[in-house]
Amino acid sequence: MLLYHFTDAEHWAGILAAGEIRATWPRDPDDMPELRRTVHLSDNPDPASLPAKLDVRQIRIALDVSDGEVHRWVSWAWDHLPPGAAEALTSTRLGGDPDAWYVVERSLPLAEWVEAVDLVSQVPLWPSAAVEGATA
């Protein structure tokens, strides 16, 4: 399934160096110790599909993730978040398109990446010409 992860430019170097998008949500596992760490994704390549606080993210990583490991965020949230949290997060006041959101309960390695693009400059970040030339 083709999905997109959005991040800030300041986090891009760390993601690339790690060779994976780490499952880091919830950020503080003490907040919800029963949850497995997750990566949040969208089936929409436009960051406007994200909640308003996140729609300014400038790096988009496209991934090809096995359908069996992908959960629609709304269904997952209703089953995993504390009562009232899913309703609050999907309310229209947060913006975005909750029907486009997905979650995966593990980190996503480079082997599943399709491309990464800086949305401001439209410059491909991964794979880069240097990476492609080194592996050819």
Mention the CATH class of domain 2-135. Answer: alpha beta
The tens digit of pLDDT for each residue in 5-55 reads 999 999 999 999 999 999 998 777 666 666 788 999 999 999 999 988 888
The pLDDT of residue 136: 42
How confident is the model over 109-119, as pLDDT tens digits?
Answer: 999 999 999 99
pLDDT recorded at residue 91: 65
Bridging pattern class, strands 101-104 and 108-109: unpaired
Nearest to 40 by CA among 98, 114, 115, 122: 98
What is the pTM assigned to this prediction?
0.86
Report whether pLDDT(67) > 50: yes
Higher-confidence residue of 17 and 83: namely 17
Q: Within 13 A of 64's CA, how many CA atoms are on the CB side?
A: 4
| Rounded-to-integer distance, Cα 129 and Cα 136, Å | 10
Structure tokens at 42: 């969208």
